[in-house]
């Protein structure tokens, strides 16, 4: 049956097409775009199919090559996976539709290679989410990262150095993860995530497991740009090509946040993650640091993409503070915020990319008066900005609401204060941009000069999604997210 094969199709189709696109591009350069759109659409439709399967039947598993799970590689899909899969593939579809004009303008000679790398990046992210094997996860982390390094280096003059630094830091992160897997394999003798979660309790309390847990957390924290280890992110995202930074900003850190949840609550049992070392207060205070640092430095930036990059660091802090509350409300807030942050960021980055494409404006000062010239893009940017601040009825409000309730419930009022303070600061950050956009500027002609339709449609789909998802937050929580909460959370 086709529906049983969906977990394979979602990853095999982009993998094959990533190679094929190169060859097709030799003869039919213009076909690459349509092929990529078709491929990502197939992945998106399969992710919807998987979501439906999971909602009907609960956790499903797919055996690659028919090998039994503890020995063979298993693709394990539960509510959390399926939810993240839909988000990633939807965002990949939006950014690939958007990429038609900017890529033709930025790198006309490298169109097939761009789409090949783009598909590899998408496939890596999908694989990281869907796999049920700890070592397989390492390989897919590296596929994602290598595609990222290559794509970032296609940006402006400073991008190769940013990509090189990201490569050094990112490889250290992945190596730490690999070491963690090694320690677990020595102690438990398995690589399957579900198998590990039943085998590990026998050896809890040994130093080797503690070391493995620490290696995992540090490695993943590097990959998700969590506060003290965020150094690579602002340079990498602000110098990358616009479409690439939009796609990466919305997905890479979010998928890493998913991996962190998977390690803390599936590989290790929640009671271990909560009690082994005081990891929860540590994560909480570090994410307070992330929120403050991200927002303060975002205030100091002139370049719009750099400013948004610092906002991402703060948003990663929001997600982790939700995990660190160790209660149901906070966890729901964290998972909901993974989705909302992805949609907000794709909306803002795509709008900024469209403005850069039409006018070349890249910093806040040169945004003056653009609201008259590109009114539709500006409205989309406004919706995304309002959602980052957390104004109802946009989706940003609801996840922040759950995060606030979670921190109040856990009794850490310092975290509540930090959440409110950083929301206020992001309001100031966004106000600066919007003020510049809507101020009068006589030098710019007021003639309406909008971005082409292939750019406006993805921007508007994401902007409308920001509002619609806000309205349906309750339904999403009751039909999907409440099943992702670890057992024992109240």
Footprint of another protein on this chain (CB under 8 A)?
Answer: 135, 138-139, 142, 146, 149-150, 153, 157-158, 160-161, 163-164, 167-168, 171-172, 175, 178-179, 182, 185-186
Burial of 434 (0-12, 13-18, 19+ CB in 10 A): middle
Our CB check for another protein shows the closer of 138 and 227 to be: 138
Angle at 14 between CA 9 and CA 20, to 5 degrees: 125
Our CB check for another protein shows the closer of 144 and 377 to be: 144
Q: How far is the CB of 118 from another protein (least distance, A)?
A: 16
Q: How far is the CB of 201 from another protein (least distance, A)?
A: 22
Dump strand ranges (E) for 342-459: none
Our CB check for another protein shows the closer of 94 and 169 to be: 169
Q: How far is the CB of 165 from another protein (least distance, A)?
A: 9
Rounded Cα gap, residues 415 and 410, in angstroms? 10
Q: How far is the CB of 238 from another protein (least distance, A)?
A: 13
Q: How far is the CB of 159 from another protein (least distance, A)?
A: 9
Tokens linked to 246: 């939009």
Strand partners, 174: none
Q: How far is the CB of 218 from another protein (least distance, A)?
A: 13
Our CB check for another protein shows the closer of 178 and 459 to be: 178
Q: Which backbone phi and psi does 325 adopt, to 5 degrees?
A: -70, -20
Q: How far is the CB of 363 from another protein (least distance, A)?
A: 12
Q: Residue 197 in contact with residue 267, Cβ under 8 Å?
A: yes
Our CB check for another protein shows the closer of 104 and 302 to be: 302
Q: Dihedral sign, CA of 321, 87, 263, 58?
A: positive
Q: Residue 130 in contact with residue 7, Cβ under 8 Å?
A: yes
Our CB check for another protein shows the closer of 38 and 161 to be: 161
Our CB check for another protein shows the closer of 144 and 245 to be: 144
Nearest CA-CA partner of 253 in 175, 311, 322: 311
Burial of 19 (0-12, 13-18, 19+ CB in 10 A): exposed
């Amino acid at each position: 049956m086709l529906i049983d094969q969906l977990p394979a199709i979602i990853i095999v189709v982009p993998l094959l097409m990533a190679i094929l696109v190169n060859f097709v591009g030799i003869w039919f350069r213009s076909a690459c775009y349509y092929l990529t759109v078709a491929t990502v659409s197939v992945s998106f439709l399969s992710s919807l199919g998987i979501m439906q399967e999971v909602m009907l039947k609960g956790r499903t598993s797919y055996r690659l090559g028919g090998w039994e799970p503890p020995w063979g590689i298993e693709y394990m899909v539960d509510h959390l996976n399926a939810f993240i899969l839909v988000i990633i593939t939807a965002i990949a579809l939006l950014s690939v539709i958007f990429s038609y004009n900017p890529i033709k303008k930025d790198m006309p000679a490298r169109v097939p290679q761009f789409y090949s790398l783009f598909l590899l990046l998408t496939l890596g992210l999908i694989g990281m989410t869907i796999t049920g094997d700890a070592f397989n996860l390492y390989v897919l982390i590296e596929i994602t990262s290598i595609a990222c390094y290559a794509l970032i280096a296609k940006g402006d003059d400073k991008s190769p150095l940013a990509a090189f630094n990201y490569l050094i830091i990112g490889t250290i992160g992945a190596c730490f993860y690999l070491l963690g897997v090694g320690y677990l394999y020595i102690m438990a003798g398995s690589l399957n995530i579900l198998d590990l979660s039943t085998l590990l309790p026998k050896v809890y309390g040994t130093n080797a497991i503690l070391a493995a847990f620490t290696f995992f957390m540090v490695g993943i924290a590097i990959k998700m740009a969590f506060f003290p280890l965020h150094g690579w992110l602002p340079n990498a995202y602000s110098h990358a090509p616009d479409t690439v930074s939009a796609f990466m900003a919305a997905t890479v850190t979010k998928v890493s946040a998913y991996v962190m949840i998977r390690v803390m609550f599936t590989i290790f049992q929640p009671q271990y993650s909560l009690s082994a070392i005081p990891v929860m207060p540590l994560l909480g205070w570090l994410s307070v640091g992330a929120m403050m640092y991200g927002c303060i430095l975002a205030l100091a930036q002139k370049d719009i993409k750099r400013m948004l990059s610092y906002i991402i660091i703060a948003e990663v802090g929001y997600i982790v503070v939700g995990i660190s509350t160790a209660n149901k409300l906070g966890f729901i807030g964290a998972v909901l915020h993974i989705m909302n942050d992805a949609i907000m960021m794709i909306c803002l980055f795509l709008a900024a990319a469209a403005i850069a494409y039409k006018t070349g404006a890249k910093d806040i000062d040169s945004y003056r008066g653009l609201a008259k010239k590109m009114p539709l893009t500006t409205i989309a940017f406004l919706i995304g900005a309002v959602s980052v601040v957390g104004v109802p009825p946009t989706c940003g409000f609801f996840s922040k609401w759950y995060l606030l309730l979670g921190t109040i419930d856990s009794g850490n009022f310092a975290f509540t204060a930090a959440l409110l303070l950083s929301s206020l600061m992001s309001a100031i950050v966004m106000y600066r941009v919007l003020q510049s956009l809507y101020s009068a500027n006589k030098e710019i002609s007021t003639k309406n000069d909008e971005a082409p339709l292939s750019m406006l449609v993805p921007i508007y789909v994401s902007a409308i999604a920001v509002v619609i998802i806000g309205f349906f937050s309750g339904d999403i929580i009751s039909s999907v997210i409440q099943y992702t909460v670890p057992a024992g959370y109240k």
